[in-house]
Amino acid sequence: LWAVINCAEVLTFAETELCSASNFEHMFQVNVTGTLRLTQAFLPHIRKSRGRIVFVTGVAGNLTLNGLVAYSMSKNAVVALADGLRREMLKFGVSVHTINPWMHRTDIRCEEFVRKTLQDNWQQSPLHATEIYGDNFLKDSLEFIGKLYENDDIQEVVNAIIEASVGKNPKICYEEGIVWIPKLLSYFPQQFLDYFCYLYSPRNISHKERRS
């Protein structure tokens, strides 16, 4: 066995107050615990062949957007796993690589699927929470999702996975898509990033709860 590719994941879109703890737990079970178990199961074989381990982490592992807190938490954990494992495996000649796609449209990242997760979370939220946020917030959130996942070119991600797995001189980290956005934002103060997310995320809440 030469390479293990960790790319299984689940995603749900909902702001923290509207996302149940069980959804947080489910995302961690699949995105983090599932990834860890798969890696540990095949690690002896990879160590024997001095092969490679590839993690598809995504930009969410470094940038947390409104509505994607649970997903970003799980991806941050995978980034930590990949970074730590890469350093631990150096003594065995095993290399570890990460792939960071930026909002590419896939089966679980398609607009229809992500919108359904938002609507499901909305219906399962306590009545007082949905009343505070209001129907306009839900409408704006559904429109916001449509703007997030507009990149259909997953071939660049596939190419990166192939190169990381069998390429002659693979990079430690591959960043695919419009990655200049999070890179640019990383140079600004935290307050700027907070305000950027505030401006470009849904914020049309009920009038009585709106910030002054």
pLDDT single digits (tens) 59-105: 888 888 889 999 999 999 999 999 999 999 999 999 999 998 877 66
Q: What is the DSSP letter of 19?
A: S
pTM summary value: 0.86
Helices (H), the chain: 21-28, 35-49, 69-89, 111-124, 127-133, 135-148, 155-166, 180-185, 190-200
Residue 202 CB coordination number (10 Å): 19
Task: Pick the more confident residue, 108 or 53.
Answer: 53
Determine the pLDDT at residue 105: 65
> What is the average pLDDT score of the chain?
87
The span from the CA of 23 to the CA of 17, in Å, is 12
Determine the pLDDT at residue 211: 57
The span from the CA of 99 to the CA of 56, in Å, is 5
Structural domains in the chain, CATH included, are 3-175+190-205 (3.40.50.720)
The span from the CA of 111 to the CA of 73, in Å, is 21
The span from the CA of 54 to the CA of 35, in Å, is 11
Q: Which residue has the tokens 């490679």?
A: 52
Q: What is the DSSP letter of 107?
A: T
